[in-house]
Amino acid sequence: SYELTQPPSVSVSPGQTATIPCSGGNLGQKYISWYRQKPGQSPVLVIYQDKKRPSGIPERISGSSSGNTATLTISGAQAMDEADYYCQAWDFGTGVFGGGTKVTVL
Amino acid sequence: QVQLQESGPGLVKPSQTLSLTCNVSGSSINSPAYYWSWIRQSAGKGLEWIGRFCIDGTIRYNPSLKSRVSITADASNNQFFLTLESVTAADTAIYYCAREIPIDWFDPWGHGLLVTVSS
């Protein structure tokens, strides 16, 4: 079955940039979405179609994709960005999520 | 504002059937522009897409659960349902319903409902 791979954790200092990779076979042929999940809350869409932001998501959150890796970038990280982040794609009509990356701002 | 709310029993016995409801407000499940999905999150497996329903008759399930799962809907009450048969402890998870932009992204998600499988 298709898999999306993310690092379990990423640490970033306040004001610095965090990058979260998501890798998978043939990823360049698929759209990636990203979700942010804070403790006790449901996931929230932060990026869709690789790099588009829903309304209400700040510009310092951005997405990109190249080759077999998609990347979520958080610029000027703030304490409010601490959360788990998940990438998601489709493989022959079946939804697939990455294992999630815990972002710590310290 | 689109809102989804899951409801159902929080405890199910092993080998029994899990049945959940998702109530939708602010968006009609009669619209062929959207799909309506179930997703679960367990400690061991992270987020797992279960399957989807669309009023146009499109139904698809995750192959890993296909033999046990069914998703149906009641358009008159703007709600859709999840049925999972022969549950085991491995089905213990938070179950979410979500609106799906067809084969693209999920937005929004419901608050989630913890279902524990235990005798």
Q: What confidence tens digit (pLDDT) does each residue in B40-93 have? A: 999 877 899 999 999 888 899 999 999 999 999 999 999 999 999 999 999 999
> Which of A86, A94, A102 should we substitute to test contact with B (largest number of B Cβ atoms within 10 Å)?
A94
* Residue B43, pLDDT score: 86
**Which residue of A1, A45, A99 is in closest CB contact with B105?**
A45
User: In percent, how much of chain B has pLDDT > 90?
Assistant: 92
Arithmetic mean of pLDDT, B5-33: 97
| pLDDT interval class at B103 (50, 70, 90) | confident
> For position B76, what pLDDT does the model report?
95
How do B59-61 and A33-37 pair as beta strands?
Answer: unpaired
Beta bridge partners of A33: A88
Q: Does B96 touch chain A (CB under 8 A)?
A: yes
The answer, yes or no, to whether residue B19 has pLDDT greater than 80, is yes
Structure tokens at B44: 């061991």
CB of B54 within 8 Å of a chain A CB? The answer is: no
Mean pLDDT score, B81-107? 96
The model's confidence at residue A86, banded by pLDDT at 50, 70 and 90, is very high
A28-55 burial code (b ≥16 CB/10 A, e <16): eebbbbbbbbeeeebbbbbbbebbebee
In Å, how far is B63's CA from the nearest CA of chain A?
8
- Take residue B69 and report the two structure tokens written for it: 């799962």
DSSP secondary structure code for residue B43 in this structure: T
Q: Give residue B45's pLDDT.
A: 72
Question: Rounded to the nearest 5°, which phi and psi values hold at B49?
Answer: -75, 130
Indicate yes or no: CB of B105 within 8 angstroms of CB of A96: no
Q: What is the residue-averaged pLDDT of chain B?
A: 95
pLDDT score of B91: 97
Give the C-alpha separation, A89 to A50, whole Å.
10
Contact A95/A2 with Cβ under 8 angstroms?
A: no
Confidence grade of residue A71 (pLDDT, cut at 50, 70, 90): very high
**Is B47's CB within 8 Å of A88's CB?**
yes
Torsion of CA A51, A52, A56, A62, to 10 degrees: 10
* Residue B108, amino acid: P
CA distance A79 to chain B (A): 23
Q: In this structure, what DSSP letter does residue A56 have? A: T
Q: How far is A59 from chain B (nearest CA, A)?
A: 19
Q: Which of B49, B106, B112 sits opposite A45 (nearest CB)?
A: B106
Calculate what percentage of chain B has a pLDDT beyond 70. Answer: 100
SS3 of B80, please? strand
